[in-house]
């Protein structure tokens, strides 16, 4: 993926966060997936195995698309935190915009 595409996705995540169209963190992503609200998940490529075990099975069972091309630091910067293991997108339009850039 190009640097421009990466920046665009991270920018979209920032907009989604301000518009409350995303959820940040393992527990919030799990809750959104359980409620059927999660459209796509961005998982840190360097997330710990312990964190991955907490939500990977649930995302697979709910057929939630997963993108794992960003580091925890990159996801953290986009969401105003130090490091983030996972960011979930709950808005269909935002998820579609991210998928268009990635796929």
pLDDT in tens, 20-41: 999 999 999 999 999 999 999 9
Predicted pLDDT of residue 3: 87
pLDDT at residue 102 in the model: 84
Residue-range domains of the chain with CATH: 3-102 (3.30.1330.30)
63 falls in which pLDDT band (50, 70, 90)? very high
Sheet of strand 22-24, all strands in order from the earlier edge strand to the far edge: 22-24, 86-89, 40-44, 66-70
pLDDT of res. 60: 93
Which pLDDT score is estimated for 73? Answer: 94
Question: Model's pTM, two decimal places?
Answer: 0.89
- What's the number of CA atoms in the CB half-sphere (13 Å) around residue 53? 3
């Amino acid at each position: 993926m190009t640097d421009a595409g990466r920046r665009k996705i991270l920018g979209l995540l920032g907009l989604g966060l301000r518009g409350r169209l995303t959820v940040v963190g393992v527990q919030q992503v799990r809750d959104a997936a359980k409620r059927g609200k999660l459209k796509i998940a961005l998982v840190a490529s360097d997330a710990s195995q312990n964190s991955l075990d907490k939500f990977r099975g649930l995302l697979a069972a709910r057929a939630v698309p997963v993108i794992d091309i960003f580091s925890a630091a990159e996801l953290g910067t986009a969401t105003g935190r130090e490091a983030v293991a996972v960011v979930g997108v709950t808005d269909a339009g935002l998820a579609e915009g991210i998928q268009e850039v990635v796929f």
